[in-house]
A and B are shown apart, each in its own frame.
Chain A
Amino acid sequence: MKRFFDFIRGTAVVQLSGAEPQRCLNRFASERLPFWDVKLVDDYTLTCRVYRRDLEFAARQAGRAMCTCTILRHEGLRREFYGLRRRKLLLLGSLLVLAGLIVLPNFVWTVQVQGNVEIPEEQILQELETLGVHFGAWGPSIESRKIKNEMLCRLGDLRWLAVNCSGGKATVLVSERTKSEPTVSKRQVTNLIACRDGVVTEMSVLNGFPVCKVGQAVRKGQLLVSGYADWEYCTQATRSLGEIYAMTQRKITVRIPVTCLKKVYTGETHRTVYLTVGRKRIKISGNSGISTPNCDKMVEEKPLALPGGYQFPLKLTVETCRMYELEPRALEKAEAEDLLLQYAQRTMTGEMVAGTILQQDHKLRKNGETYEMTVVAGCREMIAVSEPAEFLTTNEDANGADN
């Protein structure tokens, strides 16, 4: 540390020559002139280091001690940067770089959102931008607490938010509200009823009183498991739980036009390269004006990042547009069959609570300008759905209660 301060203050190595150079040292010491690094050159000469500002005084004292004081060299900050006086542009550049190093990290160059699952990052960034957290914002002016309060008011799904600014990067830590699943009252009495017609193939009743059995044909809306169990001397009320699978039959009719539009690529491509600095996009090459909307656009972004993952607000964007024309084309029968069958299967599977298609039969016919397909499928699916149970009373029970 002393060396650093000596470098800042500036020092000089002086040579003291005389009959008794040690008298010079005695004089310096008695006059409280700081000196160090004393080195003996010969019997009549020695060198030592003094502060630059004490040089004149040292020379005067050396003269009084009958010695001569010669400056051998200067060292220190002033000496090192003395040459910069002539190179004004370099000096200016150095000062600008120094100022940049001090000032630039205080600005926000990138905003990174962490911890969001449900809320889109774009929505958070958009809200933050209106509150002053954006590219080029002055970091020290960002008040994390104030922004947190504002954001919690604006985005109801947020539970907590914090903005940390460091080194030109604003990290927004987000915590979302956990949506609790609707609680099911265990006291509510429910039945399981069939949601489709079918033949029961498998029953797995966890709670409740089953009123059907495997192999029985059931209709839509028929009671499968009752929430009330009659034990003659009492009635047990419960919430029915279970899975009942049945063989069902589904029928669906799907249509598609005979002619359709198909993309035919013309082979023409437009490539545009942009350099994005913060929010400013600068076009480097290519033509961004496209006269026709019929094109496939591919955007490839290459952000400039350090190996650790820190991204600079600088990225290269390459947009490639492949032009095409839409041409009407008649669908082949086989192609239409494939498309319709896939769509029908997808629709039927999507309508099931759980289950699979075991077998299917389809019939395709041309009906004017459309292909029409009717698919009949044999499925194995879960047919039990829960429904609140009503307590039924007979007339006799009601009269008994009146009496």
Chain B
Amino acid sequence: MHNERSKLRAIAERLSLPSELLPKQTMLYISGKREVTVTGHHGIQVYTREQIQVRVSYGLALIQGQGLEIARMNAESVVVRGSIGQVTLEGRQ
């Protein structure tokens, strides 16, 4: 599975295709300091007002800030709103 995804990514890079076209690709959209949208997530690991950890294909997306809340969530995407301070990506150890 991992190999297949790596092959697809290599083909897409060679053909200069946008990475959005790849299946189950994790994307992060940061809209100013108020909203972060994570698509292709695997669920929420930690949910507090200061920190939300979202599981993604390569590890964790760590969103830190003040007054964070989940505005919308479904199987494809999760929208986090609040005063965003920091967005960190952590790979699997």
CB-contacts of A1-31 with B (<8 A): 21-23, 25-26, 28-30
A38 near B: Cβ within 8 Å?
yes
Contact of A21 among B43, B45, B47, B78 (CB under 8 A): B47
**Which of A39-47, A138-146, A282-290, A317-325 lies at the interface with chain B?**
A39-47
Contacts of A280 in B (CB 8 A): none
- State whether A22 touches B49 (Cβ < 8 A): no
The verdict on B62 contacting chain A, using a C-beta distance below 8 Å, is no
Q: Judging by beta carbons under 8 Å apart, are B70 and A25 in contact? A: yes
Decide if B46 is an interface residue (CB 8 Å cutoff): yes
Which chain A positions have C-beta within 8 A of B78? 29
- In angstroms, Cα B48 to Cα A102, docked, is 52
* B contact residues, range: 10 to 19
Query: Are B69 and A40 in contact, with the CB atoms below 8 A?
Result: yes
A35 contacts the other chain (Cβ, under 8 Å)? yes
* B11 cross-chain contacts in A, Cβ below 8 A: none
Q: Shortest distance in angstroms between B54's beta carbon and chain A's nearest beta carbon?
A: 10
List, in ascending order, chain A residues with CB within 8 A of B43's CB. Answer: 22-23, 25-26, 29-30
Contact yes or no, A29 B73, CB < 8 A: yes
A7 to B69, alpha carbons, bound, how many Å? 23
Q: Which residue from chain B places its CB closest to the CB of A38 in the assembled complex?
A: B70
A32 to B46, CA, bound (A): 20
Instruction: Tell me the nearest residue of chain A to B53, going by C-beta.
Output: A22
Closest CB in chain B relative to A57 CB, distance in Å: 15
Binary flags per residue of B65-87, CB closer than 8 Å to A gives 1, else 0:
00001111111001000000000
List B contacts of A36 (CB < 8 A): 71-73
Asked whether B45 lies within 8 Å of A34 as measured between CB atoms, the reply is: no
Q: Min CB distance, A295 to chain B, in Å?
A: 81
Q: Which residues of A contact B72 (CB under 8 A)?
A: 36
CA distance A39 to B43 in the complex (A): 17
Contact B73 A35 (CB under 8 A): yes
Cβ-based interface call for B44 (8 A):
yes
What B residues does A35 contact at CB under 8 A? Answer: 73
Taking CB atoms, residues of chain B closer than 8 Å to A23 are: 43
> Measured between alpha carbons, how far is A22 from B55 in the docked complex, in Å?
12
Is A29 in contact with B74, judged by CB distance below 8 angstroms? yes
Contact B44 A22 (CB under 8 A): yes
> If the complex has contacts A29-B74, A32-B75, are A38 and B45 also in contact, measured as CB distance less than 8 A?
no
Question: Which residues in A have their C-beta under 8 angstroms from that of B75?
Answer: 29-30, 32
Inter-subunit contact B73/A46 (CB<8 Å): no
Question: Are B74 and A40 in contact (CB-based, < 8 A)?
Answer: no
Q: Once the chains bind, are A38 and B73 in contact (CB under 8 Å)?
A: yes
Contact assessment for B73 and A40 in the assembled complex, using a CB-CB cutoff below 8 Å = no
A46 and B49 alpha carbons, distance in the complex (Å): 11
- A22 & B45 in contact (Cβ 8 Å cutoff): yes
- Residue numbers in A under 8 Å from B48 (CB-CB): 40, 43
Residue pair A25, B74 in contact (C-beta under 8 Å):
no
Give A20 Cβ to nearest chain B Cβ, in Å. Answer: 9
Given contacts A28-B73, A36-B71, 13 further A-B contacts (CB under 8 A): A22-B43, A25-B43, A25-B70, A25-B73, A26-B43, A29-B74, A32-B74, A34-B74, A38-B70, A38-B71, A39-B69, A40-B47, A40-B48
Taking beta carbons and an 8 Å cutoff, which residues of A are in contact with B? 21-23, 25-26, 28-30, 32, 34-36, 38-40, 43, 46
25 pairs from A and B in contact (CB 8 Å cutoff): A21-B47, A22-B43, A22-B44, A22-B46, A22-B47, A25-B44, A25-B47, A25-B70, A26-B44, A29-B74, A29-B78, A30-B75, A32-B74, A34-B74, A35-B73, A36-B71, A36-B73, A38-B70, A38-B71, A38-B73, A39-B69, A40-B48, A40-B49, A43-B48, A46-B47
7 shortest A-B CB distances, which residue pairs? A26-B43, A22-B47, A38-B70, A22-B44, A29-B75, A29-B73, A29-B74
